[in-house]
Structure 1
Amino acid sequence: MTRTEEFEQLRPLLFAIAYRILGSVSEAEDAVQESWLRYASYPTEPASAKSFLAAVVTRISIDVLRSARVRREAYVGPWFPEPLLTDPYEDPERSAELADSVSMAALVLLERLTPLERAVFVLREVFAFDFPEIARAVGRSEAACRQLAVRARRHMDAGRPRFEADQRSRAALADRFFGAFRDGDVDGLRALLAADVHMVGDAGGKAPLWRPSFVGAESVSRVLANLVEPFLRIGGAVDPHEVNGQPGAILHDRAGQVLATMALDILDGQVQAIRMVTNPDKLGHLGPVGDNFATLRETNEARGGKAG
């Protein structure tokens, strides 16, 4: 097998590692491409292409994350990862764990870790690399990596998100949610929301955001219901689609351009959280991006009111 063929076989895994470390589709793709360039020019044949490339993409991702964290400290409003519609890495025996590890909630929680802790956690807990491989990947001793793993696991366990274990139940509730959402059914929405549900948006200062979050079933159901009817009337669309391994949707304008993604956290038969990404800088990989400000103005004109 040629190096090109080996690399292409491993590309899904490399992207999956990089995305979980970085929380960015574009940066993960760049890290994978840089890994290929280093692999292609490496003078000798590695004993294991998988171990070699995993180490390379991990080191690149750690370096990128260190600089990205400085930018994220100055980020306007809540920060969410770039939405991922399909994880290219598949492992049927661990599909549920992989989906949960790429969720918006899990990736936001990973932001609390140092770059090294995050890389070690991803390699060990998500992809089950052994400690000798992890040590080579991050340039630390095995003992140091074990300590990093313990610290990372402690931080993650303290706030680890929980999701509905039965994916069919989760999908069925999401179908009901988006049905009520498109119908503007306040009562239907309220019945599906946890009492303390929170809806949070990532606009990055580049898209409309009425407030950082809405909390409570009454508030969230009314906000959603009041906006969706005029939005649909002006030609907008709410298209259900898995987002970061969880039930969600993509919102399009009348021209089919992407306006936002919406991801749902579902547990105990209720929607616990709704996370929306409207920052246009985070949506370009999903297709042509629409103008949220113009769409909101038109939506408000259609409902004869103003954003609240």
Structure 2
Amino acid sequence: MNKVEEFEELRPLLFSIAYRILGSVSEAEDAVQEAWLRFDGSETRVASAKAFLSTTVTRISIDVLRSARVRREEYVGPWFPEPLLSDPYQDPERSAELADSVSMAALLLLERLSPLERSVFVLREVFGFGFDDVASAVGRSQTACRQLLVRARRHMRAGRPRFEADRQERQELATRFFDALREGDVDGLRDLLAADVQLVGDGGGKAPQLARAVTGADGVARLLASVFPLMARVDVTFERHEVNSRPGAVFRDRDGRVLHTLVLDVLDGRIRTIRSVINPDKLGHLGPVADAWAVHGEVQRARRRTE
């Protein structure tokens, strides 16, 4: 097997590692490409392509994450990971761990960790790397990596909900949610929402977004039921997708361009959090991006016509 074949076989794993460390599709793709350039440029034959490339993409991702910390601290409004519709890496033995680790909720918890803690957690807990490979990848001793992992596990456990819905329950609830959304059914939506549900949007200051999170079943239900029929009037449509391994949808303008994504977190039989990513910088990997401000203007004009 030549270098190109070895790399292409490992590309899905490398992207999946980088995305979990960085929370960005574009930055993960750049990290994988840089790893390839270093692999292709190495003059000596490496003993293990997987070990070399995993170490390289991890170290690149750590460097990128460190430089991104300042940008994220200065980010306008809530910061969410770039939405991912499908994770290219498949491992039947770790499918549940892989799916859970790519959810928006898990990635936001990972944001609380230091770059080293995050990388050690991803390599060890998500992908099952041995401590010798983890230590090599992050440039620390095995003892230090075990300590980093203990701290990372503690932070992750503290932020995780006690009970999560299984995939079938999530999908059934999501079907009812999107049916009610399409109909503008306030009561139908309210029945599906947790009492303390939050609706939060990430526009990054580059698209219309909520001034603050909307909290409470009644307020969220009324807002959604009032807004989507107006969006439908200006030919906004949505298509169901799993977004970061959770039920969600991609919304598009009349020309089929991506307007925003929506993803649902389900807990104890109710929808607990609804997250929308509308920042155009985070949507380009999904296709041509809509002019959210223009759509917003159309929606406001449609609202005035109904008043």
Q: Is the 8 A contact 2:165 2:268 kept in 1?
A: no
Is 1:169 aligned to 2:169, yes or no? yes
2:181 corresponds in structure 1 to 181
Matches within 5 A, 1:35-54: 35-54=35-54
SS of the residue 1:113 aligns to: coil
Q: What is the letter of the counterpart of residue 226 of structure 1?
A: S
What is the count of residue pairs matched by the alignment?
306
Whole-angstrom CA distance in 2 between matches of 1:235 and 1:127:
42
Deviating more after overlay: 70-79 vs 92-101: 92-101
SS of the residue 2:243 aligns to: coil
Is 1:201 aligned to 2:201, yes or no? yes
SS of the residue 1:247 aligns to: strand
Q: Is the 8 A contact 2:248 2:263 kept in 1?
A: yes
In the TM superposition, what is the alpha-carbon distance from 1:46 to its structure 2 partner? Answer: 1.8
Q: What is the letter of the counterpart of residue 301 of structure 2?
A: E
1:142 corresponds in structure 2 to 142
Whole-angstrom CA distance in 1 between matches of 2:208 and 2:250:
17
Whole-angstrom CA distance in 2 between matches of 1:166 and 1:251:
25
Q: In 2 relative to 1, CA 155–164 (structure 1 residues): closer, same or farther, beyond 3 Å?
A: closer
SS of the residue 2:242 aligns to: coil
In the TM superposition, what is the alpha-carbon distance from 1:3 to its structure 2 partner? Answer: 1.1
Whole-angstrom CA distance in 2 between matches of 1:248 and 1:93:
25
Is 1:94 aligned to 2:89, yes or no? no
Is 1:224 aligned to 2:192, yes or no? no
In the TM superposition, what is the alpha-carbon distance from 1:96 to its structure 2 partner? Answer: 2.0
Q: In 2 relative to 1, CA 103–247 (structure 1 residues): closer, same or farther, beyond 3 Å?
A: same
In the TM superposition, what is the alpha-carbon distance from 1:162 to its structure 2 partner? Answer: 5.9
In the TM superposition, what is the alpha-carbon distance from 1:195 to its structure 2 partner? Answer: 0.6
1:10 corresponds in structure 2 to 10
Whole-angstrom CA distance in 1 between matches of 2:181 and 2:35:
43
1:62 corresponds in structure 2 to 62
Is 1:72 aligned to 2:69, yes or no? no
TM-superposition CA deviations, 1:236-274 (whole Å, max 9, x none): 102111101100001111111111000100122211100
SS of the residue 1:242 aligns to: strand
Q: What is the letter of the counterpart of residue 173 of structure 1?
A: L
Q: TM-score, normalised by structure 1?
A: 0.97
Q: TM-score, normalised by structure 2?
A: 0.97
Which runs of 5 or more structure 2 residues have no equivalent in the other structure? none
Q: Is the 8 A contact 2:186 2:221 kept in 1?
A: yes
| Percent identical residues | 67
1:259 corresponds in structure 2 to 259
In the TM superposition, what is the alpha-carbon distance from 1:210 to its structure 2 partner? Answer: 2.9
Q: What is the letter of the counterpart of residue 133 of structure 1?
A: D
1:126 corresponds in structure 2 to 126
What CA RMSD, in Å, does the superposition of the two structures yield over aligned residues? Answer: 1.3
Q: In 2 relative to 1, CA 6–273 (structure 1 residues): closer, same or farther, beyond 3 Å?
A: same
Q: Is the 8 A contact 2:165 2:269 kept in 1?
A: no
In the TM superposition, what is the alpha-carbon distance from 1:292 to its structure 2 partner? Answer: 1.1
Q: Is the 8 A contact 1:163 1:265 kept in 2?
A: no
Whole-angstrom CA distance in 2 between matches of 1:181 and 1:57:
41
TM-superposition CA deviations, 1:90-130 (whole Å, max 9, x none): 11232222111011111111111111111001001100101
Which runs of 5 or more structure 1 residues have no equivalent in the other structure? none
Whole-angstrom CA distance in 1 between matches of 2:161 and 2:262:
17
Deviating more after overlay: 291-300 vs 19-28: 291-300
2:117 corresponds in structure 1 to 117
SS of the residue 1:112 aligns to: coil
In the TM superposition, what is the alpha-carbon distance from 1:76 to its structure 2 partner? Answer: 0.4
SS of the residue 1:304 aligns to: helix
Q: Is the 8 A contact 1:106 1:161 kept in 2?
A: no
